[in-house]
């Protein structure tokens, strides 16, 4: 997938001006928020479960090398092949090598965010093979010219029913359908033949279990089950951070994942797949491969934003983020949108290629409040902003202004004097209703926000007056 994560502000303005997108975003706004709020009340000790999930993911990261070795040992013991990929090019090379080794001509693929990092579908097609996305959202995007996903959980959330209707009519050559159920039946009819004729299935992995060498797949459509059991070859691709120590740990995480993602108590399908089909077993594949991907993750692990690797890809931070809700996922310019994307993207592709993203935040901390594994997302965004400043990636005017502010802030008397002058100047800029309509050198604030004028005195002045018994 092409990286386009620079200049977030410009793209955000484009998305805000896109009337169709804004209508579609408005339809889903608050949907997952309300469902999550209801779902978490089902847990007797939600915060305790959340803390346990945080500890599980942290335990996995603290000894990641050991858990990865244990996973490899147990997966191989069950007949699987474990491969390692440094980055996107290696992912594509390994998948194609597997496909050619087994004479594969058609591949069915369930949703995988890691494969989006490498634009795997395009690489497969470029090699002369057929690949079909089986997640309904991903399938919609594939037949629409491989449009990028806009959400981790719902890749096509930015599409309306009417847009999908026209797309199916155009690509399938079928009459237009009015209802969502009819559209789903049409998709099933198209995809069913691909399931039955595919030679290889590709999946991601919600969790890789070290103690058993298993991959856990969580879906609502059952597409992952069909893509990973009917074909003779299964390839599961995941980042190295998706390792969890035990199946018991998975059970704890599953109490939070669906509730945080879609507001469900449990997903419709939870598959735990372990190794190849053994003697006398009816279900299973002939060949199973795991591709574990670094792709910048060891760099994150060694950095001050390593907590971001605890992410379980629920999408709750996006669902609650006022920035994401306003501009959608495509404004972020790469695979991972929203607050988690504003951290992972700069770390995976380089801060110099995504320096706007850590600032794509209101610092309201809604993302941190709802994260099921307690990732302090606003704090991590701030650390990346500091890095961008220190590396001189930000514009010189911005750096000069921040240095000037820091110089004044370290001098209490000067700061107090400047504050007194500032609040009185801002008061003078206000109109009769007490609102500032235009702020010199800060039109970005006043163009998009209501900005009440200060009272005319600083907090320190008001506090001193109250302490001395005067009027405030």
Average pLDDT estimate for 168-180: 92
- Contact by Cβ (8 Å): 280, 289: no
Reply yes or no on whether the pLDDT at 463 is more than 90: no
Reply yes or no on whether the pLDDT at 396 is more than 90: no
Is 446 or 263 the better-scoring residue by pLDDT? Answer: 263
Average pLDDT estimate for 416-435: 83
Reply yes or no on whether the pLDDT at 252 is more than 70: yes
Reply yes or no on whether the pLDDT at 15 is more than 60: yes
Interstrand relation of 207-209 and 214-219 (parallel, antiparallel or unpaired): antiparallel
pLDDT at 373: 98
- Third-level CATH fold of 43-295: Rossmann fold (3.40.50)
Least reliable range by pLDDT among 83-97, 205-219, 247-261, 428-442: 428-442
Buried b (16+ CB within 10 A) or exposed e, 351-368: bebbbbbbbbbeeeebbb
pLDDT at 421: 87
Task: Compute the CA torsion angle 64, 68, 74, 76 (nearest 10 deg).
Answer: 180
Q: Give tens-digit pLDDT for 122-161.
A: 999 999 999 999 999 999 999 999 999 999 999 999 999 9
Terminal-to-terminal C-alpha distance of the chain: 58
DSSP 91: H
Distance CA 405, CA 399 (A): 10
DSSP 66: H
Q: Give tens-digit pLDDT for 96-132.
A: 999 999 999 999 999 999 999 999 999 999 999 999 9
Q: Is 44 helix (H, G, I), strand (E, B) or coil?
A: coil
> Among 301, 306, 300, 336, which residue's Cα sits nearest to residue 321?
336
Structure-block tokens of residue 465: 């007056």
Compute how many other C-beta atoms are within 10 angstroms of the C-beta atom of residue 60. 24
Compute how many other C-beta atoms are within 10 angstroms of the C-beta atom of residue 460. 13
* φ/ψ of residue 109, rounded to 5: -140, 125
Which residue carries 């995941």 as its tokens?
238
Average pLDDT estimate for 340-356: 93
- Contact by Cβ (8 Å): 233, 98: yes
Q: Give tens-digit pLDDT for 379-391.
A: 999 999 999 988 8
Least reliable range by pLDDT among 8-22, 187-201, 324-338, 420-434: 420-434
Reply yes or no on whether the pLDDT at 441 is more than 80: no
* Maximum alpha-carbon separation in the chain: 89
Residues 6+ apart with CB under 8 A from 421: none
- Contact by Cβ (8 Å): 107, 101: no
Structure-block tokens of residue 19: 């009337």
Reply yes or no on whether the pLDDT at 472 is more than 60: no
Distance CA 365, CA 380 (A): 11
User: What does pLDDT average to over the chain?
Assistant: 92
Distance CA 452, CA 455 (A): 9
Q: Give tens-digit pLDDT for 290-319.
A: 999 999 999 999 999 999 999 999 999 999
DSSP 306: G
Beta bridge partners of 289: 81, 235
Domain boundaries, the chain: 1-40+314-394, 43-295, 397-467
Distance CA 228, CA 210 (A): 20
């Amino acid at each position: 997938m092409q990286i386009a994560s620079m200049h977030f502000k410009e793209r955000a303005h484009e998305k805000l001006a896109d009337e169709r997108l804004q209508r579609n975003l408005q339809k889903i706004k608050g949907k997952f928020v309300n469902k999550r709020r209801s779902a978490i009340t089902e847990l007797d000790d939600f915060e305790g479960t959340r803390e346990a999930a945080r500890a599980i993911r942290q335990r996995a990261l603290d000894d990641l090398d050991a858990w990865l070795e244990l996973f490899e040992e147990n997966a191989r013991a069950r007949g699987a092949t474990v491969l390692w990929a440094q980055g996107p090019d290696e992912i594509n090379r390994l998948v194609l090598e597997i496909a050619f080794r087994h004479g594969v001509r058609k591949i069915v693929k369930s949703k995988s965010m890691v494969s989006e990092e490498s634009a795997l579908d395009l690489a497969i097609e470029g090699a002369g093979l057929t690949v079909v996305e089986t997640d309904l959202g991903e399938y919609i995007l594939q037949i629409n010219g491989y449009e990028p996903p806009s959400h981790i959980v719902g890749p096509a959330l930015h599409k309306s029913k009417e847009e999908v209707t026209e797309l199916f009519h155009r690509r399938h050559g079928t009459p237009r359908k009015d209802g969502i159920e009819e559209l789903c039946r049409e998709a099933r009819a198209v995809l069913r033949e691909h399931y039955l004729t595919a030679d290889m299935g590709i999946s991601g992995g919600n969790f890789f279990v070290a103690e058993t060498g298993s991959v856990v797949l969580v879906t609502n459509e059952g597409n992952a089950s069909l893509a990973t059991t009917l074909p003779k070859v299964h390839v599961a691709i995941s980042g190295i951070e998706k390792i969890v120590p035990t199946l018991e740990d998975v059970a704890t995480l599953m109490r939070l994942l669906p509730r945080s993602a879609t507001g469900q108590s449990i997903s419709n399908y939870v598959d735990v797949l372990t190794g190849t089909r053994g003697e006398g077993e009816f279900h299973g594949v002939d060949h199973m491969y795991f591709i574990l991907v670094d792709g910048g993750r060891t760099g994150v692990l060694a950095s001050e934003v390593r907590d971001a690797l605890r992410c379980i890809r629920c999408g709750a931070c996006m669902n609650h983020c006022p920035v994401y809700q306003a501009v959608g996922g495509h404004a972020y310019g790469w695979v991972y949108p929203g607050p988690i994307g504003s951290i992972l993207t700069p770390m995976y592709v380089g801060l110099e290629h995504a320096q706007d993203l850590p600032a794509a935040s209101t610092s309201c901390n809604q993302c941190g409040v709802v994260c099921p594994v307690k990732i302090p997302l606003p704090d991590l965004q701030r650390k990346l902003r500091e890095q961008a400043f220190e590396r001189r990636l930000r514009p010189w005017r911005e750096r000069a202004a921040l240095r000037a502010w820091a110089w004044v802030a370290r001098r209490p008397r000067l700061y107090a004097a400047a504050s007194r002058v500032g609040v009185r100047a801002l008061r003078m800029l206000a109109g009769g209703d007490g609102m500032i309509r235009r702020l010199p050198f800060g039109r970005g604030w006043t163009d998009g926000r209501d900005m009440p004028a200060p009272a005319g005195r600083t907090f320190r002045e008001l506090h001193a007056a109250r302490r001395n018994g005067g009027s405030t």
